[in-house]
Amino acid sequence: MIHLTVNGTDHALDIDPATPLLYALRDHLGLNGAKFGCGMGQCGACTVIVDNQPTFSCLTPVAALGQRAVRTIESLGTTDKPGRLQQAFIDHQAAQCGYCIAGMIMRAQSLLESNPHPTDAEILQHMEPNLCRCGTHMRILAAIRAASPAPTTSQAKPERKS
């Protein structure tokens, strides 16, 4: 029996310990936000947050999670009431086909939780492992920037001159 905490709820699943987290989420818990993209951790469509870190769920066996908490896109909001970051992606039309978006949002969520006021360079570096084949990267960047609360004067980062 595998015990998982997903989106704040404890689950006991009778599955093989080698089962990738992605399949546990989709096939056993009915959480279909994370997508199967490549199965090799090269695209990011399956990204979830595990103990505040973006994680490729296609590569993570459920046995490797232990007591660590898992969060999926379903934890951020609903269709009727999207979360702040989800709404920013909607407002900036950051999704074209939409396949990568749940993974993009979860990676961005982990960034904004650890660094509420990232620079564009920090956003680009953090988001690099996730791919958007439709090419909406500039809209994704704009959405993340918009979801980041404006820093107060004391929080503003000084600009670097090259």
| All domains in the chain, ordered by first residue | 2-147 (3.10.20.30)
Per-residue confidence (pLDDT) for residue 133, from 0 to 100: 85
Tokens of 147: 């979801």
Task: Choose among 114, 150, 109, 149: nearest CA to 127.
Answer: 109
Q: How many CA atoms lie within 13 A of 108 on its CB side?
A: 33
Average pLDDT, the chain: 91
Q: How far is Cα of residue 11 from the mean position of the Cα atoms in its chain?
A: 21
* Residue whose tokens read 């992606």: 89
The runs of H, that is alpha helices, within 16-150 are 21-23, 84-91, 101-114, 120-127, 137-147
pTM: predicted TM-score of the whole model, two decimal places: 0.88
Query: What are the pLDDT digits (tens) for 83-133?
Result: 999 999 999 999 888 888 999 999 999 999 999 999 999 999 999 999 888
